Amino acid sequence: MLNGRKLKIGILEWQNFCKKSDCSTNGSIVYTHVCKDLFDSLAEYLNFTYELIEPPDKSWGELSETWNGLLGMVARNGIDLSGIPYGITLKRSKAFAFSYIMYQYECEVVHKKLSNNDNHWMLLVSVFKWEVYVCGLLTMAWCIGLYTLLERYSVGEHFEAGEIPACPPSTSDSVMTAVLVPLRQGSLHLPRASSGRIFYTSWVWFCIIIVAVYTGNLVAIISVVKENIPFNTIKELAENDDFKIIIAKGTSYVDIYKYSNDSVSKKIWTKVLDARSADIRNSLDEDLHIKMLLQSSYYAYITGSTETNGIEKMVFNLRKMKCSIGPYFLSLPFPANSPLAELFSDKLMRLYDNGMLEAWARKWSSTKREEDVPAMTKVDMSNMRSAWTMCVSGITVAITILGIERFLNYQINQD
């Protein structure tokens, strides 16, 4: 095989495949996770030792005039191979030799879920449709009138000589009796006639049912977050002006959308460039993408399914959408015409067939970050002007009704 030759392998941190270790000896770079298991196995089988080297600019590499970043080191024979698998594209296949396919993945769009809950104070009255409230107010008004009628004109009641009949309830008493029941309060006036008591009991049972339904629906609306789906296809994403699109530099998706003649892909690439110009920090490091997703719900990140599995552990409440651009394949890139590509392919084929690559991926993906449990959504009393307007209006109407009642009682007593 390689007779103990020392290979230079380019490396960068990438999800659960490669993680930089805190412990290093003699200033050497120490990486763990899948890459260590993989290259230890390859080194034993092919009889070589290896040294891990990071690119100076810490980038994956893309083609401008020449290849830069990690791919640039491979193209200039600065290293023997890349320790990170890359997607195979037309431009890369012309500049590099690729090993046997290691992973297959799908293109996905990830973004934070949007909530349909509009939790301002109007949520308190949005539990039922407006027709329910109108019917409820009409029913209450009918109950007030019927209760007053039953109490003032009790049919079939007889009074003995000298007996003073009980004072019938005033209009305010009837109003308060009907209003306090759904508010779970007692009434100052108890019905004296049997008909009034039967009616009052029926009104209490009716209010218990309505209040229970209202309370249950309100708790459900506040505590359950309804998902708002802004787009379902890549075309809808391209036409959505609210979302900014980010794609990591050096990925195969850059070539897909940058050099495509499809109108939808051109729109996607234009939005990617706009996002880059708006944020200079753009896309040199995947941690920056994750920060963007955490900061705003209006960032859409186009990446592979292998990356999204890692992002889900860091960004809570993430939504994934599959792109319809077909599967992509990851392989280790070597310098053009390198004989190492064929040597490595034989061992990689064996590792793929016997399931070791998948087993290592499962092994290192088992460590998950703790996710915060979302608390119950609170009602936001942000629109205070309209809330105060309604309160003042209600108080004004109540004072007006009481004033009219007192005026009518005074006129009746005068007469």
User: Could you write out the three-class secondary structure of the chain?
Assistant: CCCCEEEEEECCCECCCEEECCCCCCCCCCEECHHHHHHHHHHHHHCEEEEEECCCCCCCCCECCCECHHHHHHHCCCCCEECCCEECCHHHHHHEEECCCCEEEEEEEEEECEECCCCEHHHHHCCCCHHHHHHHHHHHHHHHHHHHHHHHCCCCCCCCCCCCCCCCCCHHHHHHHHHHCCCCCCCCCCCCCHHHHHHHHHHHHHHHHHHHHHHHHHHHHHHCCCEECCCCCHHHHHHCCCCEEEECCCCHHHHHHHCCCCHHHHHHHHHHHHHHHHCCCCCCCHHHHHHHHHHCCCEEEEEEHHHHHHHCCCCCCEEEEEEEEEEEEEECEEECCCCHHHHHHHHHHHHHHCCHHHHHHHHHCCCCCCCCCCCCCCCECCCHHHHHHHHHHHHHHHHHHHHHHHHHHHHHHHC
pLDDT of residue 154: 63
Domain ranges, ordered by start, for the chain = 1-102+332-377, 121-157+165-225+378-414, 227-329
Architecture of domain 121-157+165-225+378-414: Orthogonal Bundle (1.10)
Q: Does domain 227-329 have CATH number 1.20.1530.20?
A: no
Task: Give 389 or 70, the one with higher predicted confidence.
Answer: 70
- For 83-97, 146-160, 290-304, which range has the lowest pLDDT when averaged over its residues? 146-160
**Residue pointed to by tokens 């997607």:** 87
Architecture of domain 1-102+332-377: 3-Layer(aba) Sandwich (3.40)
Task: Give 326 or 206, the one with higher predicted confidence.
Answer: 206
Tell me what the mean pLDDT of segment 208-226 comes to.
Answer: 81
Report residue 277's pLDDT band, with 50, 70 and 90 as the boundaries.
Answer: low
pLDDT of residue 186: 67
Beta bridge partners of 107: 304
Instruction: State the average pLDDT for the chain.
Output: 79
pLDDT of residue 63: 84
pLDDT of residue 114: 80
pLDDT of residue 190: 72
Tell me what the mean pLDDT of segment 201-230 comes to.
Answer: 82
Residues 6+ apart with CB under 8 A from 360: 34, 37, 38
- For 228-242, 290-304, 314-328, 390-404, which range has the lowest pLDDT when averaged over its residues? 314-328
pLDDT of residue 116: 62
Report residue 368's pLDDT band, with 50, 70 and 90 as the boundaries.
Answer: very low
pLDDT of residue 98: 94
pLDDT of residue 115: 66
The CA-atom distances, in angstroms, between 275 and each of 53, 242, 271, 320 are 31, 12, 6, 20
Other Cβ atoms within 10 Å of 238 Cβ, number: 20
Tell me what the mean pLDDT of segment 47-56 comes to.
Answer: 92
Are the C-beta atoms of residues 115 and 346 closer than 8 Å to each other? no
- For 17-31, 229-243, 287-301, which range has the lowest pLDDT when averaged over its residues? 17-31
Task: Give 120 or 269, the one with higher predicted confidence.
Answer: 269
Tell me what the mean pLDDT of segment 215-230 comes to.
Answer: 78
pLDDT of residue 295: 78
pLDDT more than 90, % of the chain: 18
> With 50 as the cut, is the pLDDT of residue 245 above it?
yes
pLDDT of residue 371: 42
Report residue 37's pLDDT band, with 50, 70 and 90 as the boundaries.
Answer: very high
pLDDT of residue 284: 47
Task: Give 378 or 140, the one with higher predicted confidence.
Answer: 140
Report residue 255's pLDDT band, with 50, 70 and 90 as the boundaries.
Answer: confident
- Same fold flag, 1-102+332-377 and 227-329: yes
Spell out a b/e string for 115-135, using b for 16 or more CB atoms within 10 Å of the CB, else e: eebeebeebeeebeeeeeeee
pLDDT of residue 168: 64
Tell me what the mean pLDDT of segment 145-153 comes to.
Answer: 77
